[in-house]
Amino acid sequence: MAVESEGAVENNGVVRTAMGFGSIMNNSYGIGRMGIWRMDEMGGQATPLHRMDARIKILTVFIFIGFVMSFPRYEISALMPFFLFPLVLMGRAGIPPSYIFKKVLIASPFALAVGIFNPWLDPAPMIRVGGIFVSGGWLSFLSILIRFSLTVSVALTLLACTGIQRLCDGMGRMGVPQVLVVQLQLLYRYLFVVVEEGGRLGRGLALRAGPRSRITLRTYGALVGHLLLRSLDRAQRVYQAMASRGYTGETRMMHPPVLRRVDLLFLVGWVLFFGVARYWNLAGQMGRLLIGGGR
């Protein structure tokens, strides 16, 4: 289903409306090739990792983030072993790491903006690398960037190696309120519908006003208001169709995930690794081993 919907949209939705769409929509979310369709495709794969109980993956990811965030602010080298976790997940699930890291780059401005002041605010030298003194601020800034890459890439990987449907299902079984789970599923379903409606509006606007027209406030109110009304009507019809086919808010799966021993091993194994990497600086040890002490 995932593939079909992508193909359909690529052929008669986004690509053909791309001109009108692009002119009014500042497409910062990358709904196109890089965006959610690609993510949807990856989440829909059927590797053993994809089929693993989503609860285990969610739990492990949260523990991972907790460990990463617990490091003191100047930490750099001891964080490195933690890259193993997202990279192994990507490897096992057949997700190209370049895709994830491109998305991480796109998302980085806020962490960059807040962290970039550290070098100015904390200029006291802390280490020396080849004759150049490096201040504490640069260390903590670098540390923020590494933490950011770790936590964000693991969140993206969680979705890419699970898929939204299984993720929602797992959240439901972990005790997340049903209202919120259904809300997430429907939001995801409707995202495609609304973006298509937006594409049609954009094409209409471009045909009438020219592709580079600026949108005034009055036009904006009408445009977004129309998008709202049309999306609501469309959603109502979609929902009625779903309800008349027996949708009650809960998803019935053909292969409901069962908790196997492998899953528990996955959890315990990774948490052990995180613990070891948190309390012994594996990278530092290796570096000393390699260049002979360094005392």
Partner 1 sequence: MHMADALMSPAVGGVMWAISGGLLAWCSRQVRRLLNDRMIPMMGVLGAFIFAAQMINFSIPGTGSSGHLGGGLILAALLGPYAAFIVIASVLTVQALFFADGGLLALGCNIFNLGFFPAFVAYPLIYKPLVKSTQGGLRFWMGAIGAAVVGLQLGAFCVVLETTLSGISDLPFSTFVWMMLPIHLAIGVVEGVATGAVVLFVLKARPGLLGEPVDSATPPGGGRKVIIGLLAATLIVGGVVSWFASTHPDGLEWAMAKVKGKNTLESQAGMSEKLADIQATTAFLPDYGFKKSEPSQGESSSWPAPSAGTSVSGLVGGLLTLVLAVGAGWLLRAKGRSKTMES
Q: Is 27 helix (H, G, I), strand (E, B) or coil?
A: coil
Closest CA to 259 of 54, 27, 80, 115: 54
Q: How many residues bind partner 1 (CB under 8 A)?
A: 147
Stretch 161-190: interaction string toward partner 1, x if CB under 8 A: --xx--x---------xxxx-xxxxxxxxx
Q: Is the Cβ of residue 72 or residue 246 nearer to partner 1 in the bound state? A: 72
Q: How far is the CB of 171 from partner 1 (least distance, A)?
A: 9
259 or 286: CB nearest partner 1: 286
Name which of residues 220 to 259 contact partner 1 (CB under 8 A).
Answer: 220-229, 231-232, 234-236, 238-240, 243, 249
In this chain, which of 15, 18, 19, 193 binds partner 1, going by CB under 8 A?
193
Q: How far is the CB of 287 from partner 1 (least distance, A)?
A: 2
List the interface residues with partner 1, window 20-49 (CB under 8 A).
24-31, 35-36, 39, 41, 44-47, 49
| 137-173: burial string, b at 16+ Cβ within 10 Å, e else | bbbbbbbbbbbbbbbbbbbbbbbbbbbbbbbbbbbbe
Residue 14 sits in the site that holds partner 1 (CB under 8 A) = no
190 versus 263: smaller Cβ distance to partner 1: 190
DSSP letter at 79?
Answer: G
CA distances from 80 to 97, 210, 278 (A): 16, 51, 11
- C-alpha–C-alpha distance, residues 114 and 116, integer Å: 6
How buried is 64 (Cβ within 10 angstroms: 0-12 exposed, 13-18 middle, 19+ buried)? buried
> Scanning residues 62 to 81, which ones bind partner 1 (CB under 8 A)?
62, 65-66, 68-78, 80-81
